[in-house]
């Protein structure tokens, strides 16, 4: 079932699995001590993503809130992101291996993106929320986490339990609802670029 809160702003044009609509990047987190088992199920879901030649270029480095590594991860974020994700249960830095079998991979970022989406969808089914962030210092992340040069530092993810939006700063409260999408007919073409598909 599509969540009642989600239904207010999101209506799929065609029938799809509800979990896809119910995933949204909320910013309010309730303090929640996430169990290793919950976290590892998320990474497990990412493991089953498809990738070119089954190269599996995705890597995940995490820190739980309250751990000795947490501050090092949190300090990577830009101030905008720091203000809302301080109560997240875990922060993850997503890496992507640039080479496969000694050759540059043309698709590793695409593959790693698929793994991130698996994780985000799995989180919904576990009653957790995820929020991807490009707003962080990737060079500092490479240094802090000692990431080898043959990996790209892609994104960070905040993971946790959804909290009350009233705890967010005023401007973020106003933005704390599921957003929508451009129409399907804007993104699907039939036969050649620019030919609209017969979507009413
Ligand atoms: C690669 C990527 C980077 C993002 N970076 C940020 C960010 O730094 N801060 C933030 O608040 N949201 C960030 N977002 C969240 C997007 O704004 C959000 O996914 C988008 O508006 C679609 O909304 P939805 O995820 O709720 O469906 C990012 C999302 C992605 C996929």
In a domain, 172, yes or no: no
Question: Is 181 near ligand 1, meaning CB less than 6 Å away?
Answer: no
Give Cα separations from 33 to 64, 101, 161 (angstroms). Answer: 8, 39, 9
pLDDT at 182: 97
Chain-centre distance of CA 30, in angstroms?
A: 18
The Cα–Cα gap between 115 and 144 comes to: 23
Q: What is the dihedral of CA 47, 51, 53, 58, to 10 degrees?
A: -60
In a domain, 54, yes or no: yes
Contact 184, 13 (CB under 8 A): yes
Distance 188 CA to ligand 1 centre (A): 22
In a domain, 47, yes or no: yes
In a domain, 91, yes or no: yes
Local confidence pLDDT in tens for the 200 residues of the chain: 999 999 999 999 999 999 999 999 999 999 999 999 999 999 999 999 999 999 999 999 999 999 999 999 999 999 999 999 999 999 999 999 999 999 999 999 999 999 999 999 999 999 999 999 999 999 999 999 999 999 999 999 999 999 999 999 999 999 999 999 999 999 999 999 999 999 98
Range of the domain at 122: 17-167
In a domain, 120, yes or no: yes
Q: Probe ligand 1: pick from 10, 11, 25, 172, max atoms within 8 Å of CB?
A: 25
pLDDT at 200: 80
Question: Is 200 near ligand 1, meaning CB less than 6 Å away?
Answer: no
pLDDT at 79: 98
In a domain, 92, yes or no: yes
The Cα–Cα gap between 136 and 74 comes to: 9
In a domain, 10, yes or no: no
Contact 6, 176 (CB under 8 A): no
In a domain, 121, yes or no: yes
The Cα–Cα gap between 25 and 22 comes to: 10
pLDDT at 105: 98
Q: What CATH number did the domain enclosing 116 receive? A: 3.40.109.10
Question: Is 155 near ligand 1, meaning CB less than 6 Å away?
Answer: yes
Contacts of 153 (CB under 8 A, 6+ apart): 93, 94, 95, 138, 141, 142, 147
Structural domain count, the chain: 1
């Amino acid at each position: 079932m599509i969540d009642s809160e989600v239904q207010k702003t999101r209506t799929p044009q065609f029938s799809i699995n509800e979990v896809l609509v119910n995933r949204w990047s909320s910013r309010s987190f309730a303090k929640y001590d996430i169990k290793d088992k919950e976290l590892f199920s998320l990474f497990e879901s990412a493991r089953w993503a498809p990738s070119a030649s089954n190269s599996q270029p995705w890597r995940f480095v995490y820190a739980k809130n309250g751990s000795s590594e947490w501050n090092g991860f949190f300090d990577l974020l830009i101030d905008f992101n720091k203000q809302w994700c301080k109560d997240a249960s875990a922060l993850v830095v997503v890496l992507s291996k640039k080479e496969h079998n000694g050759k540059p991979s043309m698709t590793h970022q695409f593959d790693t993106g698929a793994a991130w989406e698996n994780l985000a969808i799995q989180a919904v089914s576990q009653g957790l929320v995820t929020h991807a962030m490009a707003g962080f210092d990737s060079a500092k992340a490479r240094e802090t986490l000692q990431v080898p040069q043959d990996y790209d530092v892609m994104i960070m993810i905040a993971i946790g339990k959804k909290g009350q939006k009233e705890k967010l700063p005023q401007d973020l409260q106003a933005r704390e609802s599921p957003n929508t999408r451009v129409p399907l007919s804007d993104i699907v073409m039939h036969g050649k670029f620019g030919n609209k598909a017969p979507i009413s």
